[in-house]
Amino acid sequence: MSGAGKVTLIGIRKAESVRRSKREEIEISGHKFSGNFDQFSEHKEKMVTCVGGKDKILVSPIIHWTDRDVWQFLNGNSIEHCSLYDEGYKRIGCILCPMSNYKQKLKDYQRFPHVKRKWIQTIQKLIDAEYVNHNFTDAEFGFYWWISDKGFDQYYADEVLQQKIEFNV
């Protein structure tokens, strides 16, 4: 494991997601210990042993910070930030992230239209390698289905209905 035997500081916060809200200030990979700095002293011996082994200690010093805390820190210390936050982005990291909802994917698609081509190429490679479980051979159809956040059957039914409406069938 990368970072085994090391202490790693990470900048995650509970306020970022439901999944992250369950994280602790101090975690050891493999979840042999999860706690906060107040509990550190009573587990110090065990933690030192873990660091000497294959585990990795993750420390999240800003785990309890709110969005407001982050912005107060950045602005209070004149630290520059990515301009995407000024455009309404709450989190940045990947464009058209599979974990994003439809609204965010649509925003990404409109803001970064050049990325659509890359995703369509990737979907085509998946189709060609027969990694796609659905019966479509058109990568563009696959792209629009993927960003829709709908199940395949629902998306397909909606598309067939839309075509019937457009062609007055």
Residue whose entry in the numeric block shows the structure tokens 């239209």:
113
Q: CB neighbours of 129 closer than 8 A, spacing ≥ 6?
A: none
For residue 153, the model assigns a pLDDT of: 85
pLDDT band at 31, cuts 50/70/90? low
pLDDT of amino acid 126: 87
Mean pLDDT of the chain: 80
Q: Please write the tens of the pLDDT for every residue from 97-141.
A: 877 888 888 888 888 989 888 989 988 998 888 877 667 778 888
pTM over 0.85: no
What is the arithmetic mean of pLDDT over 40-59?
A: 60
**Residue 75 pLDDT:** 95
